[in-house]
Structure 1
Amino acid sequence: MTLAELPIFASAPVLLTDIPNLDPPPAYTPLAASSKGSLPQIVLPSGHTAVHLTRYRDVLAVLADPAFSRSVTNTDDGASFLPTTMPPELPLNLDVPHHARMKGYVTSDYSARSVAALESAATRILDGALSNLRRSEQPDLFGTVLNRIPVEVNMAFLGLPISDIDYFRPSSRVVQMAPESDVPGLLEHFWLVYDYLTDLVTGKREVLEGGLVDRFIAGRDSVEPRLSDAELVGLLMGSLLGADHNVLSVLAKAVYVLLSAPPLWEWAVQNPDRTPELVEELLRVLPLGTISTFPRVATRDLPVGDGVIYEGDVVYADAFAANRDPSEYPEPHRIDPERKGPRHLQFGYGMHHCMGASLARMELTVVIRRLTAEYPGLRLAADPESLPWDSGVLLRRPTLLPVRW
């Protein structure tokens, strides 16, 4: 049965606007008039004016072009959504050729083939969490199940002791969920996580033999020039944060959307072999947090649509908006797992394409397929409007998903 053949869907398509609280308020201020002709402009939290690109083809062109620099924004007076700067060795702050040198070192480890080997671990962790859910008097799918999956899968992948979670995770959450007003708290927790990773790289903390961290350290001499401690920490910062809180945020919202839209849940129950298609459509429509990419600065002129981005202009290539571009995705606010169209930009594009994309896809597929098989009648046990959300400088997600079956 196709989605369109489900009686409830045929009469009432599932729209993004049907899902309460899904879209966050913008993290920028639109300008009523633009000095760039047809190109809209916004004001970033840093006070900088930026060209705001929302069309799929324009966003794709900027993300694919190394002439748009990230490194020049990571300064005290740089254009930013963040309230502070971050170490220059973080891959998100690097341009070519330095970014290619570091990302090339990890690409094979994060390939779809490498990540597939983690599927059994993800399933085992999920089954343990579901056992706890069954015994719960007030079942909370987020706290009992979803909150465990990404971090425990990532610890198995990185080869780190599970006991370390209680040490670093409260701080890693603050790094991505702190309010913009709490810069001292954000920095305090950022440096705690940074120091934790430094201790792993320098041998002051235990790493498990054969895990990703162990392999990164052992193979650092294969890169020319040799990867420094700071560069390894920069790589691992992305691995530790992104594969935990980023994946958790999109996972929690994906499940929330399915539970808030019974026709979609029913489609998933009836089409387990097509779960990957459902995952891609959810990734297209879901906003990971308050922003989709980081600002870039043009190092050359680029014609865009009816306007021109000039050298020195700040640009926000809005991947969230591009994923809802009606010229590429007809009825873009309709959630349809059978949709045809170009690949979404949830994970970015070009050199800053998320290295953990295959990992996130695998975990989403495993969780959705298992949940719909084990609990075909799963429903939210509360009004979606009443659910609490956690929102910070980067990420946003529901933090309570009471369920019944």
Structure 2
Amino acid sequence: MTEIPTFPLPPLHGDPTPYDAGDYRRLRAEGPVVRLPIATGGPDVWLVTQYAEVRKLLSDPAHFSNAVQGPNGRLGDRSDESLKGFVIGNPLMYDPPEHTRLRRLLTGQFTVARMRHLRPRIEQIVTEHLDAMEAAGPSADLVEAFSLPVPSLVICELLGVPYADREDFQRRSNRLLDMTLDREAHAANTAEMNAYMYGLIARERAEPGQELLGLLVREHGDDLTDDELLGIGNTLLVAGHETTANMLSLGTLLLLHRPDQAAVIRDEPDAVTPAVEELLRYLTVAHRAGPPRHVTEDITLGGRQLRAGDLVIPSLLSANRDEAFVKEPDELDVTRDAAGHMAFGHGVHHCLGAPLARLEMQVAFPALLRRFPGLKLAVPYESLRFRLQSTVYGVESLPVTW
């Protein structure tokens, strides 16, 4: 039997992906569901690695539960302060029907039509940051100058964060997923973030604006508690900021290694949409769809018998590299049809912000490559530091020149 590595797996040298593709090929060859020890300790989990079985799991919340439960089986039975901000109001932490209620309230804010309305402002934010880079150049840290601030400003626009507050807002969000911080530092950062968001919610309660929190208060204020609005705001911050920021950085790094494919995105407007889907598939910066699932009753998945109470992790990144999904999955091909990838999850918990993330990348990648056609790394690849201790994979900094 193949020796099973611990989770998470290390990056593949010379390629900005958060695991060794060979390790995942071996795991998939063993079967679609494998028993895996967690690197940080705790109980073993079932890791689901093959595309078809990941889809099946994510389509079945009745047997594979996301819910954080209290002593009587419901999230609401707990009053722990730790639930506030990232559990209560977070659709990823609920099963239907509670999840269905929250999702229904939010879906209208992320329609394709609403995203088209945001496009001019996104284009303006991208242009302003490219102008600033060019004026300060001919070198920059792409993470600091472009990849982080662009989606941060977009999500601030969406939520209704006042302009004067955005620098502190971004600082707190950057610390949110940093797994190198100790428990006390995380707790302090979370408390600071929650206090700010509660203040923003109070202002929107008093005088609802036209941004997302204001619209939710105006249209559904009697149906949503402040704790739920807090969880919604913080969830959208993570989903709409961290993931897109890391995709912009890692995607650019990947394209610098593939100049022929970068040229496709730069020079062929009709090729941008499928190219973004392939980058999403190939990188899959969010390794899994939310927390580990709890098995609610004994069930067979991928030929393995799972027992009630077992923990299951659907590996989105392995599913997206499954040979049964795409041919030559470990090769980047921005011209391929990668529709059906699971970088945004699948099923009832498919990422609400996917249309916004897609739009930001469709604007940002070609604009960056057209502005700086000679863009290249300013340091040796080997000196880059990747965010291995974060729930969203990325790179700490990306020095570039042009």
TM (norm. structure 1) is: 0.83
Aligned counterpart, 1:203: 203
**Percent identical:** 27
Question: CA 1:192–1:46 in 2, change beyond 3 Å: closer, same or farther?
Answer: farther
**2:16 and 2:253 in contact (8 A); partners too:** no
Matched, 1:314 2:315: no
Cα shift readout 1:211-237 (whole Å, capped 9, x = no counterpart): 111111112246xxx211111111111
- 1:60 paired residue number: 55
Whole-angstrom distance in 2 between the partners of 1:178 and 1:321: 22
Deviates more, 1:291-300 or 1:54-63: 291-300
Shift in alpha-carbon separation, 1:178–1:326, aligned structure 2, 3 A: same
For the pair 1:234 / 2:221, whether they are aligned, the reply is: no
**1:10 match:** none
How much does 1:277 deviate?
0.6
Q: CA deviation at 1:148?
A: 1.4
Partner in structure 2 of residue 384 of structure 1: 381
CA distance in 1, matches of 2:303, 2:356: 38
Which residue of structure 1 lines up, in the alignment, with residue 279 of structure 2? 282
Cross-structure match for 2:113: 113
Residue 74 and residue 24 in structure 1: after superposition, are their counterparts in 2 closer, same or farther (change >3 A)? farther
Q: After TM superposition, list the pairs within 5 Å mapping 1:6-405 onto structure 2.
A: 19-24=14-19, 39-44=33-38, 45=40, 47-67=42-62, 68-72=64-68, 86-87=83-84, 88-89=87-88, 90-137=90-137, 138-179=139-180, 182-203=182-203, 209-221=209-221, 226-289=223-286, 291-340=288-337, 342-405=339-402
Contact 2:33 2:49 in 1 (8 A): no
- AA aligned opposite 2:229: L
How far the C-alpha of 1:198 sits from its partner, in A, is 1.2
Please state how far the C-alpha of 1:292 moved relative to its aligned partner.
4.9
> Secondary structure in 1 aligned to 2:394?
strand
CA RMSD of aligned residues (A): 2.8
Q: Give 1:315 shift.
A: 0.9
1:348 is displaced (CA, Å) by 0.7
Distance between the aligned counterparts of 2:375 and 2:322, measured in 1? 32
Where does residue 8 of structure 1 map in the other structure? none
Runs of 4+ in structure 1 over 6 Å off: 204-208
Distance in 2, matches of 1:332 and 1:197, equals: 41
Shift of 1:19: 4.1
Cα distance, 1:162–1:63 mapped onto 2, change above 3 Å: same
Summarize deviations over 1:161-180 as a string: whole Å, max 9, x none: 1211122322222111232x
- Partner AA of 1:211 in structure 2: E
Deviation at 1:391, TM superposition (A): 4.2
Greater relative contact order (CA < 8 Å, ≥ 6 in sequence): 1
Which string of whole-angstrom CA distances, capped at 9 and with x for unpartnered residues, describes residues 254-296 of structure 1? 1111122222212222322211111000100113156554200
Match of 1:5 in 2: none
- Out of 47-56 and 338-347, give the one that drifted further: 338-347
Whole-angstrom CA distance in 1 between matches of 2:166 and 2:205: 13
Structure 1 residues 126 and 234, CA gap change in structure 2 (3 angstroms): same
Aligned equivalents of 1:278, 1:19: Cα separation in 2:
21
Cα deviation 1:111-131 (Å, max 9, x = unaligned): 222112111111111111111
Counterpart of 2:77 in structure 1 is none
C-alpha change, 1:63 and 1:213, in structure 2 (3 Å) is: same
Unaligned runs of 5+ in 1: 1-15, 27-31, 76-83
Query: Gaps (5+ residues) in structure 2?
Result: 1-10, 22-26, 72-80
Q: Give the C-alpha shift of residue 355 in structure 1.
A: 0.9
- Letter of the structure 1 residue corresponding to residue 257 of structure 2: S
TM-score normalised over the length of structure 2: 0.84
1:340 counterpart SS class: coil
- Report the AA paired with residue 48 of structure 2: L
The DSSP-based 3-state class of the residue aligned with 1:40 is strand
- Say whether the 8 Å CA contact 1:159–1:207 is kept in structure 2: no
- Amino acid in the other structure paired with 2:318: A
Deviation at 1:400, TM superposition (A): 2.6
Aligned partner of 1:4 in structure 2 is none
Shift of 1:370: 1.1
Change beyond 3 A, Cα 1:69–1:292:
closer
Number of residue pairs the alignment of both structures matches: 370
CA shift for structure 1 position 73: 6.5
Amino acid at match of 1:388: R
Letter of the structure 1 residue corresponding to residue 332 of structure 2: I
Partner of 1:13: none
